[in-house]
């Protein structure tokens, strides 16, 4: 009866549950940090601004916005996700009610944009007015 | 007794692991995505491409309106601008072909010198400098373009 492994099972189960809880919390923390809207807003705003800076009249771009839309959906945000202010030369990306990120572009071209499914379609025009 | 010692060590390892992962994640995700050098490079290449076509400098380079001809918005040249541009036109012997063109805040030019010397500053912009030869009137000249971006985004 005194053989090894015949002791009470509870400490082992308790130890396992504690470990499981610890690694679950760690996983949730890392996963939550990586889907933080602030990171996506900054990345998308800068990416769009650089596209506008580099592009010429007549060009058309399709930007995969799937992750951004998913974050907005998760935050129950239903407002305007991307806005491009041609007067202020500012790209603004918003994926939740409480946050938002703006980045300026220096190009003088005009721009048309809109979502097609998960993609943001950007059309570059010659002038801002036309 | 042995199990107790093991559980203390195990607890210490978990705490250490949690600390390392948390600090790593916080540092990684709180760092800025810095695209200023890329911006300076794009602006430099945009100006370059609109001034030199097929190796020849544009004919009206002596009365050239950069903002209008190179599709660059006036925000670049506004007071307190986050950008700076300097364009020099020289002939083969280093003589100036026309006066330099400046856009943006001229006081920021020093930041490019500091960058070159390795002097770090939190708010210093990122610079890109490029030189390219061109033909004009059967001679060869050199176009020197220095661009800087010090833009930081706007958080809500």
CB contacts < 8 A (A, B): 84
Whole-number CA gyration radius for chain B? 25
Nearest Cα residue in chain B from A35: B29
Note whether B148 and B111 are within 8 A (CB). yes
Best mutation target among A40, A106, A125 (most B Cβ atoms within 10 Å) is A106
Look at residues B147, B148, B144 and name the one whose alpha carbon lies nearest to residue B131: B144
The answer to ipTM > 0.85 is: no
Rounded to an integer, what distance in angstroms lies between the CA atom of residue A43 and that of residue A37?
Answer: 10
Phi, psi values for residue A58, rounded to 5°: 90, -10
* B120/chain A closest Cα distance in angstroms: 24
pLDDT 10s digits, B59-94: 888 888 888 889 899 999 988 899 999 999 998 888
pLDDT 10s digits, A28-86: 988 888 778 888 999 999 999 999 999 999 999 999 999 999 999 999 999 999 999 99
Q: What is the mean pLDDT of residues A91-112?
A: 94
pLDDT for A1 equals 44
CB contact under 8 A, A101 and B155: yes
**Which residues contact residue A62 at a Cβ distance below 8 angstroms, ignoring those fewer than 6 apart?**
A116, A119, A120, A121, A122
pLDDT for A2 equals 46
Look at residues A68, A63, A79 and name the one whose alpha carbon lies nearest to residue A114: A63
Range of lowest pLDDT (A88-92, B27-31, B95-99): B27-31
């Amino acid at each position: 009866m005194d053989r090894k492994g015949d002791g009470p099972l509870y400490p082992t189960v308790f130890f396992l549950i504690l470990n499981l809880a610890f690694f679950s919390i760690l996983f949730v923390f890392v996963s939550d940090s990586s889907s933080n809207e602030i990171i996506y807003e900054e990345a998308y705003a800068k990416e769009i601004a650089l596209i506008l800076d580099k592009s010429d009249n007549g060009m058309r771009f399709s930007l995969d916005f799937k992750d951004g839309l998913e974050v907005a959906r998760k935050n129950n945000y239903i407002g305007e996700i991307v806005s491009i202010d041609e007067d202020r030369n500012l790209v603004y990306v918003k994926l939740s009610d409480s946050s938002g990120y703006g980045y300026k572009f220096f190009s003088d071209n005009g721009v048309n944009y809109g979502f097609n499914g998960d993609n943001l379609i950007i059309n570059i025009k010659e002038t801002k007015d036309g | 007794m042995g199990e107790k010692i093991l559980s203390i060590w195990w607890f210490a390892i978990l705490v250490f692991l949690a600390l390392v992962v948390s600090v790593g994640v916080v540092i990684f995700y709180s760092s800025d995505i810095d695209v200023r050098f890329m911006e300076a490079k794009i602006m430099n290449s945009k100006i370059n491409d609109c001034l030199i076509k097929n190796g020849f400098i544009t004919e009206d380079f002596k009365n050239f309106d950069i903002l209008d001809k190179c599709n660059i918005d006036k925000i670049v040249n506004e007071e307190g601008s986050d950008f700076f541009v300097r364009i020099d036109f020289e002939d083969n012997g280093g003589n100036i072909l026309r006066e330099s063109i400046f856009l943006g805040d001229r006081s920021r030019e020093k930041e490019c010198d500091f960058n070159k010397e390795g002097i770090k500053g939190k708010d210093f912009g990122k610079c890109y400098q490029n030189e390219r030869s061109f033909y004009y009137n059967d001679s060869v000249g050199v176009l020197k373009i220095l661009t800087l971006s010090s833009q930081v985004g706007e958080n809500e």
